Structure 1
């Protein structure tokens, strides 16, 4: 799995996680949060982008993204559930890496590309339940910036 850092280019999962650890260890007195969110654009194919953001609260952030091209997903419901499952899968992988690095107290949020406006509002309860049932905090629009801003920008 290849991730892209806007400032450092292509990285493996392990290189991305090492960069995140270096960022956290650079100012250990700060408070940190890791956020994962996925968005997609459907044309002839479906382009899915999963963003990973490490937020140094009050002092900026770094982000990485992974892009995946998939066959066309026609159903909005299927697309939202697939986006959420990709975020959960990566969130679990990041959580395991952090636990092995002694940072298991670091909070991880999953940002879901659904909101109270539009067609996705009927899916909110199900996907939020899916995320919280997996042990993560869930955020929806307008608070789901990882999915609705960062991932959305790179999926176009």
Structure 2
């Protein structure tokens, strides 16, 4: 079953995400914008549920941006490290699905991980594996504090 995506306004995206992203790239480049896309996932544990929010953030060079979002809930239990790596795998999954478009339209793309580079934080346990996973897939990688797609945008999308 395909993931349900929406715009930040809440408006549902009714077409496959690959088509929606391609339409957005075409529309924005026709307007003369140079785009960069950042993909990130964040999660929150609420009682027995963990909610994940994945975002595709489109940045118009010097002109703001917009994003598409997807939320998903599960009752599966995770350690912090597992949850960080599930976040990364969700981001990589969508990055991989879209990377052909980004190559075709010459759009830079980064995968953002909501993982702290400071070893004092528990999420740091997952940093090496996450970085290896993302870079091994051939994607550019950003962690906190540069990972705004996951730590700011997706964070706001987790209810």
Alignment TM-score > 0.5, same fold: yes
Aligned length: 152
Counterpart residue number, 1:149: 152
Written as runs of structure 1 = structure 2, the 5 A alignment for 1:51-90 is 51-90=55-94
Query: 1:79-136 deviations in whole A, cap 9, x for unaligned?
Result: 111110110010011112344xx31x22110000101231112221221111011010
Segments of 5+ residues of structure 2 without an aligned counterpart are none
Query: 1:50-73 deviations in whole A, cap 9, x for unaligned?
Result: 000111111111111001111233
- Give the counterpart of 1:133 among 132, 136, 148: 136
**What is the root-mean-square deviation of aligned Cα atoms in Å?**
1.7
Counterpart residue number, 2:36: 33
Q: TM-score when scaled to structure 2?
A: 0.87
Q: TM-score when scaled to structure 1?
A: 0.88
Query: 1:1-54 deviations in whole A, cap 9, x for unaligned?
Result: 2211023700031452144224422333x3221110000111221111000011
Counterpart residue number, 2:115: 114
Counterparts of 2:8 and 2:126, CA distance in 1: 32
Segments of 5+ residues of structure 1 without an aligned counterpart are none
Counterparts of 1:7 and 1:131, CA distance in 2: 29
Counterpart residue number, 1:9: 11
Change (3 A) 1:46 1:8: closer
* Preserved contact between residue 37 and residue 59 of structure 2 (Cα < 8 Å): yes
